Amino acid sequence: MQIAVLGAGAWGTALAISFAHRHSVSLWARDPEKAARMQAAGENSRYLPGHRFPASLRATADFSAACKDAELMLIAAPLAGLRAALQHLRAAEVETPFLWVCKGLEKGTGLLPHQVVREVLGERMCGVLTGPSFADELARDLPTVVTIASTDANFALRCAEALRGPRLRIYASDDVIGAEVGGAVKNVMAIATGVCDGLGLGMNARAALMTRGLHEIARFGKALGGHADTFMGLSGMGDLFLTCTGDLSRNRRVGLLLATGKPLDQITRELGQVAEGVPAAHEVQRRAAALGVKMPITDWVCTLLDGSVTPIEGVAALMERDIGFEGR
C-alpha cells in the first residue's frame, strides 16, 4: 500500500517507520528544510533521534507528491493543527480515505476530532487511530496494541488488517465517540496522577485517582453517546493506565512539575512539545457542565492549571467531598 503520513512529529514519524516495514510511506513535513534534513540523515533527529528510516520511507515537504497515489493517509498533527490540515485537504481536493491520531477536544469549540472532520469535510471515509502507545517504543519495534475506530466498521477492519505488523496489533471498533473520549480525558487524568506522584502521596492515592478517573471518563463518554465497553478497552482503560504511569508521558510530566510549584507557562516551555491534557481540561470541564456530568478530578486539574489553588489544597478538597455510592 502507498501511505502518506501528514505530520513529522514524534508520533507521525514512529507510525511512518512502523508502516514502512510493510508499505511504501511518504512522511510529509511542512518545513522544507526539516524534510530535507530528515531525508538526508535518514531519521527525525529532532523528535525521534536514533530511529533510522526504512528504505521504503521518504520524507518530503511536497504535499502533492506525498499525497499522489496514496491509498490511505494519516493526519498526525496535534489537535490544534487538525482543522488546518483538513482545510488543506479540502483545498487540494484530496479524496483519499484517512485516519487521524490526535487526542483531545478542540480549544474554543469543545469539539471532538471527528466533529471537526465533519464540520470541515462533511461525510468521508475516515476514522481515528488511538490507544496506549508511546512513539519511542513503537519506533523501537516493541509490541504495541492500538485501536482504529470508524463509523464504517468495515473500513476500520480493513485498515487494521492493512496496517498491522509483527509487533503492531490493531483492533477495529465502530465507537468513534468512545475511542476519542478515552484518548482525550485520560490526558487530563495523567496530569492529576503526575501531581499525586510529585507530591509523594503514594500508590494508594495513585490507584484511587486512576480508578475514579476511569469512572469520570466513562460517565462523560456515555453522556456523549459512547459505548460503555469501549472505556474498559485499549482506548479507555489501556490508554489511561499507560499515560498515568509511563515516564514518557508528557501529561504526567506536566503534573509532576505542577507539584513542584512551577507555573504552567514555564512547564510548557520546558516540555517543548504539546501536552494535549492542558488545553483539553477546560474544554472537558465545559462540556461536562453543559451535560450535567460531575467530574471532580477534571475540576481539580483545571484549578491547578489556572493556579487558583495549590496542589495540596486541591487534594484536600477532593478528599473532603461528600461520601456517596461508588457507582454513582
Q: Which three cell numbers stand for residue 36?
A: 530535507
Residue 169: how many other CB atoms lie within 10 Å:
15
What's the CA gap between 257 and 191, in Å, rounded? Answer: 10
81 annotated to bind ligand:
no
274 annotated to bind ligand:
yes
171 annotated to bind ligand:
no
What's the CA gap between 53 and 180, in Å, rounded? Answer: 29
47 annotated to bind ligand:
yes
Are 318 and 300 in contact, with CB atoms under 8 Å apart?
yes
CA distances from 227 to 63, 117, 157, 159, 179 (A): 37, 21, 18, 21, 9
246 annotated to bind ligand:
no
150 annotated to bind ligand:
no
265 annotated to bind ligand:
no
239 annotated to bind ligand:
yes
68 included as an active-site residue: no
133 annotated to bind ligand:
yes
What's the CA gap between 189 and 57, in Å, rounded? Answer: 35
100 annotated to bind ligand:
no
Task: Return the C-alpha torsion angle 82, 241, 319, 254, nearest 10.
Answer: -50
Burial 250-285 (b: 16+ CB within 10 A, else e): bbbbbbbbbbeeeebeebbeeeeebbbbbbbbbbbb
326 annotated to bind ligand:
no
131 annotated to bind ligand:
yes
77 annotated to bind ligand:
no
Angle, vertex CA 305, rays to CA 302 and CA 308, nearest 5? 85
Given 34, 107, 186, 294, the catalytic residue: 186
5's CB contacts (< 8 A; 6+ apart) are 12, 13, 15, 16, 19, 25, 26, 27, 28, 73, 74, 76
68 annotated to bind ligand:
no
What's the CA gap between 235 and 129, in Å, rounded? Answer: 9
> Known binding site for sn-glycerol 3-phosphate: residues?
103, 131, 133, 186, 239, 249-251
> Known binding site for substrate: residues?
103, 250-251
> Known binding site: residues?
7-12, 30, 47, 103, 131, 133, 135, 186, 239, 249-251, 274, 276
> Known binding site for NADPH: residues?
11, 30, 47, 103, 135, 250, 274, 276
Active-site residue set: 186
